[in-house]
Amino acid sequence: MPERVHTRHGDLSLEQMADALPGTGELMASVGDSWWRCAYAGRGGNWPLAAYFARRVRGTSRKLAVLRPKYAERVADFERGPLAVVFAAIETRDRPRFEEAFARATAAANQSHVETGYAYIRWVLPDEPPRDLDLGRGQE
């Protein structure tokens, strides 16, 4: 009999709990949305917002590593490498360095898709910024 977890709404099997978790596609869609917003926040000079969205990319990627352990090492390498350079550029508020780091991190993510058999997933930065946030200079 599978293990069950008691909640205030009743008992759930571990299988039911696993089925309720987001899949890789949902997590990666969230990463892509945050990545897009990070880019345009940095371009607008809203460094606190760029940092917020970079942290969302990192946090969601870490969830992927937990839910899909086969990607854990790849996620950790991305975080220690390309994503760390993006964070460093955000910290120093260096727009040219940010643009370069962002492009390199995007290329690294796309290469990772190729290496994991998902070459058909190729992320590109949309031409237009998101319209639901003020991506210009933020409040310090």
Q: What is the pLDDT of residue 13?
A: 76
Gap between the Cα atoms of 26 and 46, Å rounded: 27
Q: What is the pLDDT of residue 10?
A: 78
Nearest to residue 135, comparing CAs of 40, 2, 34? 40
Low-confidence ranges of the chain (pLDDT < 70): 1-2, 138-140
SS (H, E, C) 39-82: HHHHHCCCHHHHHHHHHHHHHHHHHHHHHCHHHHHHHHHHHHHH
Q: 0.95 cut: is pTM over it?
A: no
Q: What is the pLDDT of residue 2?
A: 55
